Structure 1
C-alpha cells in the first residue's frame, strides 16, 4: 500500500510534466511574410514542494479511523515561471539571435558585429 504523500507527489509531478515540455523552452516556429522564420526561446524555472505527516490517533477524542488506517494530512504545491529571453531569426542568408533584454551594452555590441563586418565588406567591394 502506498503512502498518501506518494500519491500527492505523483499527481503534482504528472501535472508539471504536462505543463513543461520542450515547446515551452523553444517555441513553435512562425514564418513571417518576408520569408524569415522566427523561433522564440524562453527561460523556464519551476519549484515543487510536498509535505505531510501522519496524525496521531487519540482514542480519547474519538477520531480513530474506522478501518484502522492512520490519519494523514498533507499537501503539495508548485510554481512555474516562463520568461522570453530571445528570438532566433532564420533567413535565407543568415541566422541571428535577438536578445529580448538588450540592456547589456556588451551583448548588444557582440550581436551587431556581424552586420557591421558585412557593411564594411560591401563598402570595400564597391571601391
Structure 2
C-alpha cells in the first residue's frame, strides 16, 4: 500500500481546522430574546480560503535514491461579515439587512415601473391635446 505524501497531511490538518471553525452556528448566530418577546437571529456571510504547497529537496551529495526531504506549508483564512438580522415576533418574520444597499436595490428595481408610468401619463396627455 502506498504511503500518503506529506503535503496530504498538511492539507488535511488545515481543512479539518477550517471545518471545525465554520458550521451552521457561524452563519446563523445564537438567537437572542428581547424583553418585548421578539427573537433576533444574526445572519452572517462566511467566506474562507485555503492554500498549501510543498517541495522535496535533494542534497548535493545525495545519490541514495531513497525518500527526499520534504518542506511545505499551508494556511487558511476566514472572513465573517454580518449581513442581516432575522426578527421573529408579533406574528411576523422580518429580515433586516445590515447595510443600506437594500434600499438602493429596491430603488433600482422600481425604475422601470416609474418610467412606464411616466410614459403612460405622457401618452394620455398627448391624446388629450
TM-score range for the pair, normalised by the shorter chain length: 0.7 to 0.9
Distance in 2 between residues matched to 1:11 and 1:32, nearest whole Å: 40
SS at match of 1:70: coil
State the match for 1:84 in structure 2. 82
Distance in 2 between residues matched to 1:18 and 1:33, nearest whole Å: 33
Deviation at residue 92 of structure 1 after TM alignment: 2.9
Segments of 5+ residues of structure 2 without an aligned counterpart are: 108-129
Deviation at residue 2 of structure 1 after TM alignment: 1.3
State the match for 2:125 in structure 1. none
Pick the aligned partner of 2:28 from 20, 26, 44: 26
Alpha-carbon displacement from aligned partner over 1:50-72 (angstroms, at most 9, x marks no partner):
0011112321xxxx5x9x43111
State the match for 2:16 in structure 1. 14
Alpha-carbon displacement from aligned partner over 1:82-105 (angstroms, at most 9, x marks no partner):
000000000032111000002442
State the match for 2:91 in structure 1. 93
Alpha-carbon displacement from aligned partner over 1:28-47 (angstroms, at most 9, x marks no partner):
11111110000000000111
Q: CA RMSD in A?
A: 1.9
Matches within 5 A, 1:35-54: 35-54=37-56
On the 8 A contact 1:102/1:108 being kept in 2, the answer is: no
TM value normalised by structure 2: 0.73
State the match for 1:69 in structure 2. 67
